[in-house]
């Protein structure tokens, strides 16, 4: 009986029991097969060994598959073990970074100026949710926190959605927000509320321009400082910024195991953060309070400095601001209120203005040291002098008759100093301006410090496309025209007279002195005769001259100083007073500047000087 076998020849017959598409060959007896082959005209087909060949192919294929799977498993287990271990750990092990507590800031007597207080901050853990899931959650979260959704999204984008570190999106959260987020914790996976110390300034806006404030690190600063991470709190102004390395501290953290819901099961490891160091400033809180009160909400600045070593005891500026506003999220209403003031963030102690007659200290030094007008010089003063068709008037419109240096300083005669400038030309004025520190950094290190201006021929040609005129020299001799100086620079000028001729570098801390190219002390280069005339002339200003309001009264030490009234058309004039006390053994220099106050320096600024000096020498009750 014939048997049917599948073969690959398309010309074979089909078995009645096979699939219509399965070819089968009919195998008959050898005789019949021989005949059939003969009939077809083809040689006999060999079938022995075909079953073994299929088996071999099957075995080879199986071996290749097993080898491929084995090599892949070996690669995963041996080469990428660490990667997959970390991937698994992120599902159950999380790192809670712990920021350090920022170092405290205290005044020279240990009174707290800036510290920390406990608050709650809201963090997002990017890797807990997919990017798509975060996008779905952001609108709800923004509504709870009263934050723009774009702001939350931006912070997640900056951190990266696979970041293992939490991202802070809100500081100093209100109790209502904390409670609401705790209640919604199951619906908001990856959202955490953590206790965190924030900056606190117990005296509010006191010394705000000196202390500065803190905030999250800006992107440009983050890119430039690889040691910082997104969301770090850094100093952004004043001493907080200047002494950042000292105040910062070092991060710590906890490694914890969590369950599927993100709840902490156990702490696997912990490294305590190291708090920043305490910073002691040279400021005196009591004197700072008096200086700010004496300004009485008038635009201006008060600088109080020890002339012996440059220590800043007070630096007041108004308008001002409360740095506590920036320890949390500032509201639009708070920001709008700040904008209603005129440049509240501007430290007017570091801004440059025309120094007016306080500059006559420098004109006196230039006149004597030039050799053109020696110490015994006496000049006739008049109502005005005429230069190139222009009249340059004395401030009293009459002159003061014949005066020497001391008398000219006491009465602040303009025409006396006009003549000094005309005789010396502009060179000595420029030289001694720079010797006293004008037109250059003081070395205090605070950002935003103006350099002031010591004008010269090249400067005027570049900025005004004009030559230098004799009238420019005349104006410069009385601190008008193009010359400008900051209240802090004028404190250094005054200190050089008080301390015997030394230009000191102003310091905010004797504990930590930042590196700076400005020396701590350098000689101005005045002769003893010049120094004596300056000291006696400044004393005469208070005794019988324009600065009578700077007298402290019975029981207080004698003072010395100089008034100044700077024109600022079309606005009202500025008022200046610079001085020191005690006259014979100076301990304190005080500079008062009132912006567009109107009136003269003797009437407006000298009383402020008197209040600050009396507070310094008045024993504490």
Q: Predicted confidence band at 597 (pLDDT cuts at 50, 70, 90)? A: very high
For 465, the token pair is 């496309």
| Token pair in block for residue 450 | 């103006």
Q: Per residue in 57-74, pLDDT tens? A: 777 787 778 777 767 666
**Same domain, residue pair 507 and 577:** yes
pLDDT at 335 over 60: yes
Domain boundary among 280, 303, 330: 280
Contacts (Cβ under 8 Å, ≥6 apart) of 511: 279, 280
- How high is the pLDDT of residue 177? 85
- For 102-167, the DSSP string reads PPPEE-TT--EEEEEEEEEEEEE-GGGS-HHHHHHHHHHHHHHHT--HHHHHHHHHHH-TT-SS-E
- DSSP label at residue 370: T
Q: Which of 261, 280, 299 is the last residue of a domain?
A: 280
Structure token digits, residue 341: 């003031």
Same domain, yes or no, for 415 and 513?
Answer: yes
How far is 380 from 399, CA to CA, in rounded Å?
9
Confidence of residue 194 (pLDDT cuts 50, 70, 90): confident
Helices (H), 483-527: 487-498
If we measure between CA atoms, which residue out of 495, 484, 560 comes closest to residue 523?
495
- For 4, the enclosing helix (H) or strand (E) is strand 3-6
pLDDT confidence band for 15 (50 / 70 / 90): very low
Q: What is the pLDDT of residue 76?
A: 61
The alpha carbon of residue 455 and the mean position of all alpha carbons in its chain are separated, in whole angstroms, by: 30
Say if residues 427 and 438 touch (Cβ distance below 8 Å).
Answer: no
If asked whether residues 242 and 302 sit together in one domain, one would say no
Which residue numbers are catalytic? 357
Six token digits for residue 278? 């305490």
| Domain span holding position 17 | 3-40
Q: Which residue has the higher pLDDT, 47 or 450?
A: 450
Average pLDDT over residues 577-587: 97
Tokens of 489: 């620079």
pLDDT the model gives residue 184: 80
Does residue 65 fall inside a structural domain?
Answer: no
Task: Give CA–CA dist 249/119, Å, rounded.
Answer: 19
Reported for 111-116, long-range contacts at CB under 8 A and 24+ positions apart, including other chains, are 111/285, 112/202, 113/201, 113/202, 113/203, 113/206, 113/207, 113/211, 113/281, 113/283, 113/285, 114/199, 114/200, 114/201, 114/211, 114/240, 114/323, 115/199, 115/200, 115/202, 116/197, 116/198, 116/199, 116/200
Residue 375 pLDDT greater than 50, yes or no: yes
* Integer Rg of the chain from CA: 42
Residue 110: CB atoms within 10 A of its CB come to 10
**Residue 434 placed within a domain:** yes
DSSP bridge partners of 116: 199
> Which 8-state DSSP code applies to residue 101?
P
The answer to the question of residue 88 being in a domain is: no
Q: Measured between alpha carbons, how far is 588 from 580 in angstroms, rounded to an integer?
A: 6
Q: Looking at residue 266, what is its pLDDT?
A: 66
Using the 3D structure, point to which of 280, 297, 332 is the last residue of a domain.
Answer: 280
Residue 473 has pLDDT above 80, yes or no: yes
Domain count, the chain: 3
Q: Which residues pair with residue 312 across a beta bridge?
A: 305
The answer to whether residue 82 is domain-embedded is no
Largest interatomic CA distance in the chain: 157
Q: What counts of helices (H) and strands (E) characterise the chain?
A: 22, 23
Q: Does one domain contain both 464 and 436?
A: yes
Looking at the fold, whether 189 and 153 belong to one and the same domain comes out as yes
What is residue 342's three-state secondary structure?
coil
389 occurs within a structural domain: yes
- Asked whether residue 105 falls in the same domain as residue 158, the answer is yes
Residue 56 lies in a domain: no
pLDDT for 135 equals: 87
Residue 372 in tokens: 């053109």
Could you tell me which residue, 283 or 164, shows the higher pLDDT?
283
CB 197 within 8 A of CB 116: yes
Alpha-helix residue ranges (DSSP H) falling in 297-346: 332-339
Higher pLDDT, 221 or 104: 104
Question: What percentage of residues in the chain have a pLDDT greater than 70?
Answer: 85
Assign residue 118 the CATH number of its domain.
3.90.1310.10
- Collapsed DSSP state (helix, strand, coil) of residue 429: helix
Cβ(594)–Cβ(574) below 8 Å:
yes
Task: Taking the CA atoms of 224, 230, 236 and 242 in sequence, report the sign of the dihedral they define.
Answer: negative
Average pLDDT over residues 391-418: 97
Average pLDDT, the chain: 86
Question: What pLDDT, on the 0 to 100 scale, is given for residue 13?
Answer: 35
pLDDT in the model for residue 620: 67
Q: Whose CA is closest to 349, among 236, 506, 215?
A: 506
% of the chain beyond a pLDDT of 90: 60
Residue 100 has a pLDDT of 85
Arithmetic mean of pLDDT, 165-169: 83
pLDDT band at 9 (very low <50, low <70, confident <90, very high): very low
Within this chain, do residues 298 and 275 fall inside the same structural domain, yes or no?
A: no
Q: How confident is the model at residue 319 (pLDDT cuts 50, 70, 90)?
A: very high
Residue 288, helix vs strand vs coil = helix
Backbone angles phi, psi at 147, to 5 degrees: -125, 145
Beta strands per DSSP E along 322-442: 378-381, 384-387, 390-393, 401-404
Tell me what pLDDT residue 50 has. Answer: 61
Tens of pLDDT, residues 241-300: 999 999 998 877 766 676 655 555 666 777 788 889 999 999 999 999 999 999 999 999
CATH number at residue 602: 3.40.710.10
Any domain includes 62: no
Other Cβ atoms within 10 Å of 461 Cβ, number? 12
Query: Which band of pLDDT confidence, cut at 50, 70 and 90, is reported for residue 557?
Result: very high
| Same domain, residue pair 299 and 274 | no
Q: Has residue 515 got a pLDDT over 70?
A: yes
Same domain, 462 and 575: yes
Measured between alpha carbons, how far apart are the two ends of the chain, in Å? 134
pLDDT digits (tens, 9 = 90+) for 478-504: 999 999 999 999 999 999 999 999 999
Residue holding tokens 């997919």? 130
Q: Is the dihedral of CA 607, 612, 616, 618 positive or negative?
A: positive
H or E, element range at 25: strand 24-27
- Mean pLDDT over 401-426 rounds to 98
The DSSP result for 51-97, as a single string, is HHHHHHHHHHHHHHHHHHHHHHHHIIIIISHHHHHHHHHHHHEEEEE
Contact 112, 202 (CB under 8 A): yes
Provide the β-strand partners of residue 427.
none
**Same domain as 359, residue 257:** no
How high is the pLDDT of residue 254?
A: 66
**305 and 196, same structural domain?**
no
Residues in the chain: 621
**Cβ neighbours of residue 250 closer than 8 Å, sequence gap 6 or more:** 100, 273, 274
Question: Is the pLDDT confidence value at 89 over 60?
Answer: no
Tell whether the model's pLDDT for residue 612 goes beyond 70: yes
Q: Which of 410, 362, 365, 448 is nearest to 548 (CA)?
A: 410
Query: Taking Cα atoms as reference points, which of 544, 523, 525, 536 lies closest to residue 583?
Result: 536
269/227 same-domain check: yes
Residue 186 contacts residue 205 (beta carbons within 8 Å): no
Domain-located, residue 511: yes
pTM: 0.81
Please report how the helices 426-435 and 414-424 are oriented relative to each other, as an axis angle in degrees rounded to 10: 100
């Amino acid at each position: 009986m014939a048997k049917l076998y599948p073969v690959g020849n398309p010309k074979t017959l089909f078995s009645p029991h096979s699939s219509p598409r399965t070819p089968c060959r009919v195998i008959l007896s050898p005789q019949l097969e021989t005949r059939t082959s003969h009939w077809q005209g083809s040689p006999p087909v060999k079938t022995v060994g075909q079953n073994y060949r299929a088996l071999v192919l099957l075995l080879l294929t199986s071996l290749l598959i097993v080898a491929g799977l084995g090599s892949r498993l070996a690669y995963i287990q041996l080469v990428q073990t660490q990667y997959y271990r970390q991937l698994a750990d992120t599902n159950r092990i999380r790192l809670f970074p712990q920021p350090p507590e920022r170092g405290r800031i205290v005044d020279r007597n240990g009174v707290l100026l800036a510290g920390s207080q406990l608050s709650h901050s809201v963090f997002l853990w990017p890797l807990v949710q997919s990017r798509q899931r975060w996008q779905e959650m952001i609108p709800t979260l923004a509504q709870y926190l009263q934050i723009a959704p774009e702001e939350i999204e931006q912070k997640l984008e900056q951190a990266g959605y696979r970041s293992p570190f939490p991202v802070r999106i809100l500081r100093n959260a209100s109790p209502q927000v904390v409670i609401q987020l705790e209640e919604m914790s199951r619906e908001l996976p990856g959202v955490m509320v953590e206790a965190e110390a924030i900056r606190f300034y117990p005296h509010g806006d006191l010394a705000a321009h000196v202390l500065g404030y803190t905030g999250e690190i800006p992107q440009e600063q983050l890119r430039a400082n690889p040691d910082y991470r997104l969301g770090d709190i850094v100093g952004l102004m004043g001493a907080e910024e200047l002494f950042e390395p000292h105040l910062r501290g070092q991060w710590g953290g906890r490694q914890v195991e969590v369950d599927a819901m993100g709840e902490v099961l156990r702490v696997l490891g912990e490294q305590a953060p190291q708090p920043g160091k305490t910073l002691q400033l040279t400021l005196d809180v009591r004197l700072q309070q008096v200086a700010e009160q004496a300004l009485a909400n008038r635009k201006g600045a008060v600088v109080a400095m020890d002339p012996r070593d440059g220590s800043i005891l007070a630096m007041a500026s108004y308008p001002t601001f409360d740095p506590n506003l920036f320890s949390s999220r500032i509201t639009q209403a708070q920001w709008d209120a700040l904008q209603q003031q005129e440049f509240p963030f501007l430290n007017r102690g570091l801004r440059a203005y025309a120094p007016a007659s306080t500059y006559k200290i420098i004109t006196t030094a230039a006149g004597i040291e030039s050799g053109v007008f020696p110490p015994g010089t006496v000049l006739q003063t008049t109502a005005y002098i005429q230069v190139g068709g222009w009249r340059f008037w004395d401030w009293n419109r009459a002159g003061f008759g014949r005066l020497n240096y001391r008398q000219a300083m006491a009465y602040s005669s303009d025409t006396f100093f006009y003549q000094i400038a005309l005789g010396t030309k502009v060179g000595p004025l420029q030289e001694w301006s720079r010797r006293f520190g004008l037109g250059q950094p003081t070395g205090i290190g605070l950002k935003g410090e103006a350099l002031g201006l010591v004008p010269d021929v090249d400067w005027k040609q570049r900025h005004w496309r004009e030559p230098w005129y004799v009238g420019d020299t005349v104006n410069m001799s009385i601190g008008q025209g193009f010359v400008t100086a900051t209240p802090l620079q004028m404190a250094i000028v005054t200190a050089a007279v008080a301390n015997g001729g030394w230009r000191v570098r102003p310091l905010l801390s004797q504990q930590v002195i930042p590196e700076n190219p400005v020396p701590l002390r350098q000689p101005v280069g005045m002769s003893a005769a010049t120094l004596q005339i300056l000291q006696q002339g400044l004393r005469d200003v208070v005794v019988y001259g324009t600065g009578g309001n700077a007298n402290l009264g019975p029981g207080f030490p004698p003072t010395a100083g100089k008034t100044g009234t700077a024109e600022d058309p079309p606005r009202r004039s500025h008022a200046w007073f610079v001085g020191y006390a005690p006259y014979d053994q100076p301990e304190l220099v005080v500079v008062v500047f009132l912006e567009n106050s109107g009136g003269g320096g003797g009437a407006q600024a000298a009383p402020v000087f008197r209040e600050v000096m009396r507070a310094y020498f008045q024993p504490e009750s």
